[in-house]
Chains A and B, each alone.
Chain A
């Protein structure tokens, strides 16, 4: 097969399959070298495609209140990883281990979320290429 046709097929394949695997990759928005741990109280939950967001109120060491947005995969991805739609409720105290947004805003990719019942659930989308990506752990 001529190489130009092969590369065209590759690019087309990327365009078509990309959106189905993940809305966007981890590195499109987040910095894998900036891990962060947030402990806070859930104030708002957006159970929505293409990404679920929840917002937590975090008290800093200086006693200041900060509002952090936490991004995860979409509903389908979360359900497959053991989340339920009511796993998080407004008022719940959670610990989020994630990575900061590249733009420095108070937004984090929630890789691992410790729910009020002590369960630790994965918040990324398998295949998003971020730290600890289950698809990568398989030796990909």
Chain B
């Protein structure tokens, strides 16, 4: 069923015109990569703050508040450009093991901050100024760094599978 959806997207006018374009496809690819830098770069700064590696003198909430708009801006561009690339190649990506792994990592990397916000972040007031934050906060930061790295590697690896 999912494959039929992928094939339909692949055959759609939008998917076909992007796939067969001369410049649009590489431009979307380039945009995707640049937006990854903005998204994952700002996420990494917060993750490293949780570990007490950078911005040690700043409150966690201050760092989070300043970065979040940039993170969301990066996310919206990365998501829309990624969706267009997916539509253009959907029928081929469906069975691609690297793409499937990337999707799995994306689900996990989305759940991670949800859990973080509804658990340890609720009493951020207690550790807002701490250089090294509580283990559960550091776990969330570590998972985020590892998963985003995995997403980028898996995304790049898509090209090496048929």
In this assembly, does B62 line the interface, its C-beta being within 8 Å of a C-beta of chain A? no
Q: Which residues of A have CB within 8 Å of B152?
A: 15
What are the residues of chain A within 8 A of B29 when measuring CB–CB? 19-20
Pick the contact of A16 from B19, B20, B23, B33 — CB < 8 Å? Answer: B33
Knowing A16-B33, A19-B29, the reply to whether A47 touches B20 (Cβ < 8 A) is yes
Q: B19 contacts A49, CB within 8 Å?
A: yes
Give the B-binding residues of A (Cβ under 8 A): 15-16, 18-20, 23-24, 28-29, 47-50, 74-76, 79
Cβ contact of A48, chosen from B19, B26, B33, B159, cutoff 8 A: B19
B65 partner residues in chain A, CB cutoff 8 A? none
| B35 CB, min distance to chain A CBs, angstroms | 12
* CB <8 Å contact, B33 and A19: yes
Q: Given A15-B152, A20-B29, A20-B30, is A79 in contact with B22 using a C-beta cutoff of 8 Å?
A: yes
B88, CB-defined interface residue at 8 Å: yes
A110 to B112, CA, bound (A): 45
Can you give 6 A-B contacts (C-beta < 8 A)? A23-B159, A47-B20, A49-B25, A50-B25, A74-B25, A79-B22
Residues of B within 8 A of A28 (CB): 159-160
CA separation between A47 and B152, bound complex, in Å? Answer: 27
Number of A-B pairs, beta carbon distance below 8 Å: 41
Who on chain B is nearest to A107 by CB? B162
**B residues contacting the other copy or chain, number (CB 8 A):** 17
Cα distance A19–B85 in the bound complex, in angstroms: 14
Q: Which residues of B contact A29 (CB under 8 A)?
A: 160
> Chain B contacts of A23 at CB under 8 A?
159
The interface residues of chain A lying within 8 Å CB-to-CB of B160 are: 24, 28-29
- Report A-chain residues with C-beta under 8 Å of the C-beta of B20: 47-49, 75
A-side contacts of B136, CB under 8 Å: none
The reply to whether B159 and A75 contact each other, CB–CB distance below 8 Å, is: no
Q: Which residue of A lies closest to B37 (CB)?
A: A16
**Distance in Å: Cβ of B129 to nearest Cβ of chain A:** 28
Name the interface residues of B4-60: CB closer than 8 Å to any CB of A.
18-23, 25-26, 29-30, 33, 37
Decide if A75 touches B33 in the complex (CB within 8 Å). no
A74–B33 alpha-carbon span in the complex (Å): 18
User: Is B156 positioned at the interface, with any CB of A under 8 Å from its CB?
Assistant: yes
A75 in contact with B156 (CB, 8 Å) = no
CB-defined contacts of A18 to chain B, threshold 8 Å: 156
User: Cβ of B156 and Cβ of A74 under 8 Å apart?
Assistant: no
